[in-house]
């Protein structure tokens, strides 16, 4: 049956930035598909863990400052493996955004965004891929891109650079890890109603301009991303590798 190809029974998934918002929806979706889920964040993940456990799946939370370099990635993945028993799926969802005009954008804002959005995804993927290769059963790595992986945007140079980097990094990872049966793809969410986008939604002119361009005529909800993360984590996407999928209500079509 085709629906069996979307099942994640017996798989161990890791979701970064999973305490709330999009990350929490990813964690719940993977659990609903049958996976046990480890959640990594710098804030309390208890709500997500309880939601996963309520679905009958194993879950645990891990605290890590993912912007502090490879050592942090190595430590938290080791903790995940010790508690969960391995890793089959990695969702690099953790990310931040800093809004400031290009000529005024501070070095700190640039460094903070690049370290969380791009470098952390690189280091976590390195460590997770090494574990997947050791396990010998393949795996799935899902990076989180953006509309700004395709467009330039305004007032977010660090964010735009990081998300452009994610798209290219995903392709490189696919090239190198495919021989190990590890698929690497990315999700590019459109304009989703989260805390990160609250300032835009609360700006009447900016909000109207965005809605006028989206064929679906609405902001996306975090639940709109649940199907794609299950697809990319499941056997249904086994022959898909190195691609960035937009889930944007048609934004890029305009």
CB under 8 Å to 17, separation ≥6 — which residues? 23, 40, 41, 93, 94, 95
Sign of the dihedral defined by the CA atoms of residues 226, 92, 145, 24, in that order: positive
For 62, phi then psi, to 5°, come to: -140, 135
CB distance 113 to 159 below 8 Å: yes
CB distance 127 to 73 below 8 Å: yes
Three-state SS at 58: coil
For tokens 């690049």, the residue is 114
| Sheet architecture: strand order including 244-247 | 59-63, 36-41, 12-16, 89-92, 139-144, 182-189, 244-247
> In b/e form, how buried is each residue of 203-239, taking b as 16+ CB within 10 angstroms?
eeeeeeebeeebeeeebbebebbbebbbbbbbebbee
**How far is the C-alpha of 199 from the C-alpha of 202, rounded, in Å?**
5
Known catalytic residues are 159
């Amino acid at each position: 049956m085709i629906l069996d190809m979307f099942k994640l029974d017996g798989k161990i998934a890791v979701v970064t930035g999973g305490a709330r918002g999009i990350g929490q929806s990813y964690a719940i979706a993977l659990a609903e598909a049958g996976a046990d889920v480890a959640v990594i964040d710098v804030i309390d993940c208890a709500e997500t863990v309880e939601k996963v456990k309520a679905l009958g799946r194993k879950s645990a939370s891990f605290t890590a400052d993912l912007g502090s370099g490879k050592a942090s990635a190595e430590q938290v993945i080791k903790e995940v493996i010790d508690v969960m028993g391995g890793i089959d799926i990695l969702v690099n969802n953790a990310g931040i955004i800093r809004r400031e005009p290009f000529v005024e954008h501070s070095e700190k804002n640039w460094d903070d965004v690049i370290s969380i959005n791009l470098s952390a995804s690189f280091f976590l993927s390195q460590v997770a891929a090494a574990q997947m290769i050791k396990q010998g059963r393949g795996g799935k790595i899902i990076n989180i891109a953006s509309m700004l992986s395709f467009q330039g945007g305004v007032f977010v140079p660090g964010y735009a650079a990081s998300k452009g980097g994610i798209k290219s990094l995903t392709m490189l990872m696919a090239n190198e890890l495919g021989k190990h049966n590890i698929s690497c793809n990315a999700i590019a969410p459109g304009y989703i109603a989260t805390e990160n986008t609250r300032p835009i939604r609360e700006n009447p002119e900016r909000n109207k301009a965005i809605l006028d361009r989206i064929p679906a005529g609405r902001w996306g909800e975090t639940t709109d991303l649940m199907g794609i993360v299950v697809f990319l984590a499941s056997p249904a996407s086994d022959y898909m590798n190195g691609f960035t999928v937009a889930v944007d209500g048609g934004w890029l079509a305009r």
